[in-house]
Amino acid sequence: MKVLKFGGTSVGSVENLLKVKEIIDSQKDDVVVIVSALGGITDKILTMAKTAATTKTFTETEMMEVTTRHMTTVDMLITESEKEEVKMKLQEKLDELTGLLKGVSLIGELTDKTLDRIGGMGEMLSSTIIAPFLDAKWFNSSELIKTDSNFVKAAVNFDKTNALIRNAFVGFKGVAVAPGFVSSNDKNEPTTLGRGGSDYTAAIYAAALNADALEIWTDVDGFMTADPRVIRKAYTIDYLTYSEAMELSHFGAKVIYPPTILPVFRKKIPVWIKNTTRPQEPGTLIGHEKRNENGRVIQGISSISDISLLTLQGVGMVGVAGISMRLFTCLAKENINVILISQASSENSISVAVPSSVAEKAEKAVNDGFEFEIANGLVNGVKVENELSIVAIVGENMKESAGIAGKLFNIIGKNGVNVRAIAQGASELNISWVVKTSDLRKTLNVVHEGFFLTSYKELNLFLVGIGTVGGNFLQQLKQQQEKLFQQKRLKLKLVGVANSKKMLFERDGIDLENYASLLKNSERVSNQKEFVNTMIEMNMFNTVFVDCTANETLPAFYYQILDSNISIVAANKIAASSAYQNYKLLKDTAVKRGIKFYFETNVGAGLPILSTIKDLTNSGDQILKIQAVLSGTLNYIFNTISKDIPLSKAIAMSKEAGFAEPDPRIDLSGKDVVRKLLILVREAGYEIEEDEVVVEKFISPELFTGSIDQFWNGVKDLDEKFEALRVKMETENKKLRFIATFENGSSNVSLQAVGSDSPFFDLEGSNNIILFTTERYNEYPMQIKGYGAGAGVTAAGVFSDIIRIANI
Ligand code: ADP
Ligand code: ASP
Ligand code: MG
């Protein structure tokens, strides 16, 4: 004998009921089939009852909908010869329901007792159709399952129930159908087993009949590592122990109603969770023995929302015996279910988590119970915090592994989630903790990602600036996205994007094929502050803010961003070259928050310069001297000037080629190189401010103070001087290079003429070169050389910073 339970979705449509029939027809054993109400019906009739009570009206049309839903199912599934009889039985029950609802509307009151009579109707109706559809004998669970009179969530009397069920099934062969959820008390008044209780009904039958197996047929492939509606990456767990399943369901995994496990656990009856629409999937087996085939320490994560935390605190509690006992007695008297308990080791506070629906009642109960202590200042009274959720990780193997809690809270902390209370069962089967409900989704995501490595890693990107660098980056991202996912299990998702006009956000990811038009049509006008605030409010996990602008004001938000546990990748140099104090604050905040602030492209575009400095210094080396040509634009200009191309034309060409800064004066004044040198020196571990860099300008300062047009006109006057210089260089076989130097604590940038023996002599196009003289690379400095400007390589540098954050 097997017991199979089909949930609301499984019996909720004609299509699925046909699948149920296939499953039942393929059974070799005798079977008991427990059914839920047709999907959505329980909710509907309970809402009708509540509305009837509050508005004192009975809505005929709503009742018609319920009637039609059932009658249509009969029309579609029941043979002609049986139709009339089935419809008659249904009508009787529907009339009873109508009578009950009308009664409620007349008196405007709804007791739990009436609620149970009404609520159980869904299963009575569905089983009335499904029994003849499966050619099965109908059994009345309402008579066979006996409970106390705790309406809405009655407790089962197993002695009576087992006897009644066994008696009813003596000599039974074939297929039986019985309604789930319903039961009755000793006075034969209808009770129910609590919402979701049909699973429990099935377990009760299985235990009473010593079934060989209990199968819970539902709308997912099995018990999953997390709720698949929240965690898309959740996957099916092949095996769980009873204890693990019990803990996970107790902490909110809706796939199984928590009390279900106990009756089958006592009898060691194996439980299967299977998908009605995909019966070929293996599903989850829940059993007695501990297995560890997959070697995982944590099996799953679950959560409960609408939680309040009550904290009792005060000096008068330290070392006083019996405080917790009194606290729990106060709560128990009011029938309040405590979900989590946490006591600080100093013993001066105890926190309990309760459902928010009873928080007020609990608060009053505790304040009354501790009236004396509160009046005498020994206890502060109860502090109540609302809008909280409990999250739990569960796994039997936690017992044998150290460091789980450390890893867990490290992951959570890194993502900026504040933990309000923690509890670990002495069995070490679960760790549970309380977070703000607004942090719940993020918590589940980061913990799932941290503990279930077989899955993929996800990064949520918010990009500002889609000009040459940003646009190129998105192009590269589009090309690489699928490959990174397939080969590196990394999902890079663009969640927010902005240019100077519009901004756009999409939690599930913006389509990279159409981002430009989507952005153009977005209703949200671009605003830096709002962009940052929206990003923070979206509170997603593994978030990276990408600044591909040269904007002066956006970096003012970096601190707030980093302090919200969001990593930053900046192509923008402003922040890293701003006042040292600000640079340091940003770097320190990133370290403190356990996130990243990367700006590799600030120096030498895509060349791995800053990461090399980091590798050198982290491994104990010290950078003694830096010599570098850092301006791709200036190098391009000096390499381009020829007999036919004067300085002014070379500048214009560099802009056209996309090398120059949006305002080329930033390059020509040397400011861009100064910023880069500042960043290099700082990253090498020295404290330096911009005004400490000595700049020998090669173009007179007046040209930089006027308008951009004045600049373009003025620069033409210099063509002659530079042509003379060029000829001189040619005859001396020298080249002009704008060189940045740091040595013995002083920094300068100047235009120099270098001979063919200099490493800077052969430097084509817009290339950059950097020489590091360090303690280890002393006689022969380390060289890094290559493209130092250009949208493509800069975008690639931004891309690789992002990949480094993913740490793959
Ligand atoms: P039924 O109507 O068949 O009883 P339920 O809706 O009660 O189905 O339970 C199945 C649902 O439980 C799934 O659709 C899923 O959304 C939710 N769920 C929550 N946590 C989990 C989990 N860990 N594994 C599988 N499903 C879960
Ligand atoms: N129909 C009931 C409910 O929706 C019981 C169940 O489906 O398990 O709560
Ligand atoms: Mg259910």
For 746-777, what is each residue's pLDDT tens digit? 999 999 999 999 999 999 888 899 999 999 99
Nearest CA to ligand 1 atom 21: 227
Per this entry, what is the length of the chain?
A: 808
Distance CA 301, CA 412 (A): 14
CA of 62 from ligand 3 middle (Å) equals 24
**Averaged pLDDT score across all residues of the chain:** 93
**How many Å separate Cα 722 from the centre of its chain?**
58
pLDDT for residue 152 = 94
CA of 259 from ligand 2 middle (Å) equals 14
Nearest CA to ligand 2 atom 5: 196
- Asked whether 57 and 130 are in contact (CB, 8 A), the reply is no
For the cut 90, the answer to whether the pLDDT of residue 569 exceeds it is: yes
For 591-609, what is each residue's pLDDT tens digit? 999 899 999 999 999 899 9
Amino acid (one-letter) located at 144: L
Ligand 1 atom closest to 7 (CA): 3
- For the CA of 193, the nearest ligand: 2
Give the number of C-alpha atoms closer than 13 A to the C-alpha of residue 742, restricted to the C-beta side.
32
For 144-201, what is each residue's pLDDT tens digit? 999 999 999 999 999 999 999 999 999 999 999 999 999 999 999 999 999 999 999 9
Nearest 10 degrees: CA dihedral of 794, 798, 804, 806? -150
- For the CA of 255, the nearest ligand: 1
Share of the chain above pLDDT 90, in %: 79
Q: Hey, which residues does 543 pair with through a beta bridge?
A: 460
Joined tokens for residue 547: 């600044």
CA of 129 from ligand 2 middle (Å) equals 17
Q: Find all residues with CB under 8 Å of 581, minimum gap 6, and list them.
A: none
For the cut 90, the answer to whether the pLDDT of residue 231 exceeds it is: no
For the cut 80, the answer to whether the pLDDT of residue 292 exceeds it is: no
Ligand 1 atom closest to 9 (CA): 2
Q: Hey, which residues does 487 pair with through a beta bridge?
A: none
CB 39 near ligand 2, within 6 Å: no
Q: Which pLDDT band, with edges at 50, 70 and 90, does 269 fall under? A: very high
pLDDT for residue 31 = 98
Nearest CA to ligand 1 atom 5: 255
Please say whether the dihedral angle defined by the alpha carbons of residues 755, 756, 757 and 759, taken in this order, is positive or negative.
positive
Pocket test for ligand 2, best of 42, 141, 217, 276 (most atoms within 8 A of CB): 42
Joined tokens for residue 403: 């460091």
**Is the pTM higher than 0.85?**
no
For the cut 80, the answer to whether the pLDDT of residue 425 exceeds it is: no
- Per-residue pLDDT, averaged over 286-314, amounts to 89
**Could you give the residue numbers annotated as active site?**
676
pLDDT for residue 346 = 67
Protein residues with C-beta less than 5 angstroms from the ion ligand 3: 7, 196
- Report the helix count and the strand count for the chain, using DSSP H and E: 29, 29
For the cut 60, the answer to whether the pLDDT of residue 529 exceeds it is: yes
Q: Which pLDDT band, with edges at 50, 70 and 90, does 714 fall under? A: confident
CA of 221 from ligand 1 middle (Å) equals 10
- Per-residue pLDDT, averaged over 374-401, amounts to 90
Ligand 2 atom closest to 198 (CA): 8
For 37-84, what is each residue's pLDDT tens digit? 999 999 999 999 999 999 999 989 999 999 999 999 999 999 999 999
- Residue pointed to by tokens 């006591």: 343
CB 197 near ligand 2, within 6 Å: yes
Who lines ligand 1 at CB under 6 A? 7-10, 36, 196, 218-220, 223-224, 226-229, 253-255, 300, 302
Amino acid (one-letter) located at 687: E
CA of 11 from ligand 2 middle (Å) equals 12
Distance CA 203, CA 212 (A): 12
- Per-residue pLDDT, averaged over 343-364, amounts to 88
Q: Which pLDDT band, with edges at 50, 70 and 90, does 530 fall under? A: very high
Q: Which pLDDT band, with edges at 50, 70 and 90, does 615 fall under? A: very high
Closest CA to 596 of 391, 800, 302: 800
Nearest CA to ligand 2 atom 6: 196
Q: Which pLDDT band, with edges at 50, 70 and 90, does 453 fall under? A: low
For 538-556, what is each residue's pLDDT tens digit? 999 899 999 999 999 999 9
pLDDT for residue 253 = 94
Higher-confidence residue of 471 and 665: namely 471
pLDDT for residue 628 = 96
For the cut 60, the answer to whether the pLDDT of residue 454 exceeds it is: no
Rg (the chain; Cα; Å) = 36
pLDDT for residue 642 = 93
CB 180 near ligand 2, within 6 Å: yes
CA of 152 from ligand 1 middle (Å) equals 21
Cα end-to-end span (Å), the chain: 51
Nearest 10 degrees: CA dihedral of 137, 85, 96, 42? 60
CB 36 near ligand 2, within 6 Å: yes
pLDDT for residue 417 = 92
Share of the chain above pLDDT 70, in %: 98
For the cut 80, the answer to whether the pLDDT of residue 347 exceeds it is: no
For the cut 60, the answer to whether the pLDDT of residue 520 exceeds it is: yes
- Per-residue pLDDT, averaged over 372-381, amounts to 88
For 91-109, what is each residue's pLDDT tens digit? 999 999 999 999 999 999 9
CA of 196 from ligand 2 middle (Å) equals 4
Ligand 2 atom closest to 195 (CA): 9
pLDDT for residue 160 = 98
For the cut 80, the answer to whether the pLDDT of residue 709 exceeds it is: yes
Alpha helices in 564-624 (DSSP H): 580-593, 610-618
Nearest CA to ligand 2 atom 8: 196
Distance CA 185, CA 161 (A): 11
Q: Which pLDDT band, with edges at 50, 70 and 90, does 434 fall under? A: very high
Distance CA 599, CA 601 (A): 5
- Per-residue pLDDT, averaged over 231-247, amounts to 92
pLDDT for residue 455 = 59
E strand spans, 372-472: 382-394, 421-424, 430-436, 457-464
- For the CA of 126, the nearest ligand: 2
- For the CA of 232, the nearest ligand: 1
CA of 36 from ligand 2 middle (Å) equals 6
Cα three-residue angle 172-176-182, rounded to 5 degrees: 120
For 791-807, what is each residue's pLDDT tens digit? 899 999 999 999 999 88
Q: Which pLDDT band, with edges at 50, 70 and 90, does 116 fall under? A: very high
For the cut 80, the answer to whether the pLDDT of residue 400 exceeds it is: no
Tell me 743's DSSP state: E
For the cut 70, the answer to whether the pLDDT of residue 449 exceeds it is: yes
Nearest CA to ligand 1 atom 4: 7
- For the CA of 34, the nearest ligand: 2
CB 181 near ligand 2, within 6 Å: yes
